[in-house]
Amino acid sequence: MNDLKDIAFKVRQHIIRMSTDGGCFVGASLSAADLIVYLYTKFLNINKDNLDDPNRDYLFLSKGHDVPALYGTFAEICLLEPERLKNHLSVNDHIYWHPNTKIPGIEFHSGSLGHLPSVALGVALDIKMRGGNNRVICIIGDGELNEGSCWEAVLVANAHKLDNLIFVIDRNQFQANMATEDLIPLEPLHDKFTAFGAAVKRIDGHSFEALDEAFSAYPFQQGKLNVVIADTVRGKGLPSIQARADRWFCNFTHDEVESLLKELGGEETTELTSETLVVR
Amino acid sequence: MSYEELLTKTALADERFVVMTAENRALVRNLPGILGKRFIDTGITEQTMVGAAAGLALRGRIPVLHALASFLTMRAFEFVRTDAGIPNLPIKLSSFIPGFLSDGNGPTHQAIEDVSIMRGIPNVTVFAAADEQDLVGMLPAIWASPNPAYVRINTRKTEYNHTPFEIGKAEVIAEGTDVTILTYGLLFEQALIAMQILKDQGLSVGLVNMRSLKPVDEQAILKVAKASKLVVTLEDHFNTGGLYTIVAETLLKHQTMAKVMPYGLDKWFKPALLPEVLAYEGFTGKQIAEKILGYTTNAIQPEIATPEFAE
């Protein structure tokens, strides 16, 4: 799993480099980085050569604002030229705050929360209809679970016994402005999904061993929607912003970025003066 | 041929077709047994149905969706806009009981802004059928198109024999120099009656079935504006955003002047059985003709058929 740690480290570097000159949703990207790296490198049958293959797997990023983690991963698995990450927020490319299908490998655009659980559901339905074995993952934010459409999708997935569909919850404990439990409490989340008919695993979303153990058990139970609640830390890897409600969308100075890159490498924490922007 | 027969025939001939419903089965009662897994009822989840349709379309399917017009367009609006409109996927929306056809249901079920909001979404095309024959005639082209489409379903029967349908083309029923009625959907029936009464009063009357609302037949509108002293936009829809607006936009775009009388709704209509709704709101053929004339006549209003089913 050391190779995964190396890749995830590089992905976090990409994310930090995108958090300036306009910024990005750095906290949410860092929480999802490990699970996205794991899924693309160890679990999913998706690569630059099979994107047109109807038998490949699918990954839908419903919490679209963490797309720097996805683009960072694409850069490391040859789906995107790393140089292009420098085009973040440029009109000359398609790399902005939410994913879009002009970037090969992006299954569907997102940004409006609560949409992709149903889109992923449709793909899973079609695969079942055709008797295929491909797997469909949808990464959903914990705050995103406020949206009723997420739970509609769980109801319908249960009705259609979609055991080829995996909802991965990035349980980083925060939504835009505050802790989930201080606004719209989600716990006991495991019980909620179980009550809706899903087969649920709750794991440490930063442990590749735990991720591997959970996903190796796919399908968790015949005829049931798979749900992985990945306990994560918002801003994981940067102690100066980790698990903080006020570090969501960040637009750091160039000096801060250089300092944060050192902090990621284990050096002392950064003195941050730039404020979190409120864009929602 | 009925709507269901056409859909059955189309889906059996082409594996890409998937029939979906948010538990609105009135038009597709027999399809579960015929289509098996290609019939998907998502329950009362309009937004999830539209999102899932996008997923199915990504895999090469052509989903035909069924729900009550108001919920399909408004509950699921953002899903239609974001998951069908932005990616321009061939998702086909069959909207049940639009406009006055919701008759006794009340304002929750009155889709009388549907044309406005659906045509406001780039890539989404919008159509309305004058009757069952018009509907069955237009759907093959609409379902074969690569775009998302919204269709006001109307399965009522009339005596009128429609000409072949073409996307973007209006159906000119009659040309006239005094007044021309532009209409779509259910009110076509009453417009035919109004046209006859107006003719009996000695007027030269035109009538156009605006069945393709987006793309719209701009040339047909401009021709009518030029030929006719008065243009009436008759619709069971708010005067905001529907045919009246489409005509106004078209005239302005082409810097053309015309005298246009909006004949639509400014508020929700009184719920009752359809014949009474039309009479109460002033939309029977006789009432339409007399409002255009500005005086009453001895004309007799033919009986208006009550819809076969309600939901």
Domains and CATH numbers, chain B: 3-152 (3.40.50.970), 171-293 (3.40.50.920)
- For residue B127, the distance in angstroms to the closest alpha carbon of chain A comes to 25
Best of A119, A128, A130 to mutate (most B CBs within 10 Å, chain B): A119
One-letter identity of residue A267: E
Percent with pLDDT over 70 in chain B: 99
A204 part of a folded domain: yes
What is the rounded distance in angstroms from the CA atom of residue A225 to the CA atom of residue A160?
A: 9
pTM exceeding the 0.90 threshold for the entire prediction: yes
Query: What pLDDT digit, counting tens, does each position of B13-32 carry?
Result: 999 999 999 999 999 999 99
Report the pLDDT averaged over residues A195-221: 98
Query: What pLDDT digit, counting tens, does each position of A56-65 carry?
Result: 999 999 999 9
Query: What pLDDT digit, counting tens, does each position of B125-166 carry?
Result: 999 999 999 999 999 999 999 999 999 999 999 999 999 999
**E strand intervals along B149-270:** 149-152, 171-174, 179-183, 205-209, 212-214, 230-238, 260-265
- For residue A1, the distance in angstroms to the closest alpha carbon of chain B comes to 33
pLDDT of residue B93 exceeding 60? yes
Question: Per the CB < 8 Å rule, is A101 touching B87?
Answer: yes
Residues of B in contact with A116 (CB under 8 A): 51
CATH number at A6 reads 3.40.50.970
Which CA distances in Å does B116 have to A50, A52, B88, B259? Answer: 41, 37, 19, 22
- For residue A107, the distance in angstroms to the closest alpha carbon of chain B comes to 9
Domain range spanning residue A39?
Answer: 2-231
Q: Which of residues 53-82 of B touch A (CB under 8 A)?
A: 53-61, 63, 78-79, 82
pLDDT at B309: 61
A70 part of a folded domain: yes
Distance in Å from the first CA to the final CA of chain A: 37
A237 part of a folded domain: no
Tell me if B267 sits within 8 A of B240, measured CB to CB. Answer: no
Give how many domains chain A has, as a whole number.
1
Which CA distances in Å does A61 have to A46, A109, A149? Answer: 14, 8, 15
Assign B311 a pLDDT band (cuts: 50, 70, 90).
Answer: very low
Assign A279 a pLDDT band (cuts: 50, 70, 90).
Answer: low
What is the rounded distance in angstroms from the CA atom of residue B214 to the CA atom of residue B235?
A: 15
Question: Phi then psi for B230, rounded to 5 degrees?
Answer: -135, 135
Query: What pLDDT digit, counting tens, does each position of B29-50 carry?
Result: 999 999 999 999 999 999 999 9
Q: Hey, is the C-beta of B45 within 8 angstroms of any chain A C-beta? A: yes
Assign A2 a pLDDT band (cuts: 50, 70, 90).
Answer: confident
pLDDT at A273: 86
The Cα angle at residue A51 between residues A47 and A52, in degrees rounded to 5: 150
Q: Which of residues 78-137 of B touch A (CB under 8 A)?
A: 78-79, 82-83, 86-87
Percent with pLDDT over 90 in chain A: 91
A245 part of a folded domain: no
pLDDT of residue A280 exceeding 70? no
A239 part of a folded domain: no
pLDDT of residue B262 exceeding 50? yes
**The token pair that represents A156 in the structure block:** 């319908």
pLDDT of residue A277 exceeding 70? no
Best of B16, B19, B23, B48 to mutate (most A CBs within 10 Å, chain A): B48
Query: What pLDDT digit, counting tens, does each position of A250-260 carry?
Result: 999 999 999 99
**Mutual angle of helices B285-293 and B188-200, in 10-degree steps:** 50
Tell me if A32 sits within 8 A of A8, measured CB to CB. Answer: no
Query: What pLDDT digit, counting tens, does each position of A227-273 carry?
Result: 999 999 999 999 999 998 888 899 999 999 999 999 999 988 888 88
Cα four-point dihedral sign A228, A233, A235, A238 = negative
Q: Hey, is the C-beta of B51 within 8 angstroms of any chain A C-beta? A: yes
Percent with pLDDT over 90 in chain B: 98
A267 part of a folded domain: no
Query: What pLDDT digit, counting tens, does each position of B189-209 carry?
Result: 999 999 999 999 999 999 999
DSSP state of B256: -
Report the pLDDT averaged over residues A67-74: 98
Name the residue among A185, A187, A124 with its Cα closest to residue A154. Answer: A124
Residue B298 exposed, middle or buried by CB count within 10 Å (0-12, 13-18, 19+): exposed
pLDDT at A245: 86
A18 part of a folded domain: yes
Cα four-point dihedral sign A167, A171, A177, A179 = positive
Q: Which of residues 148-207 of A touch B (CB under 8 A)?
A: 149, 152-153, 155-156, 159-160
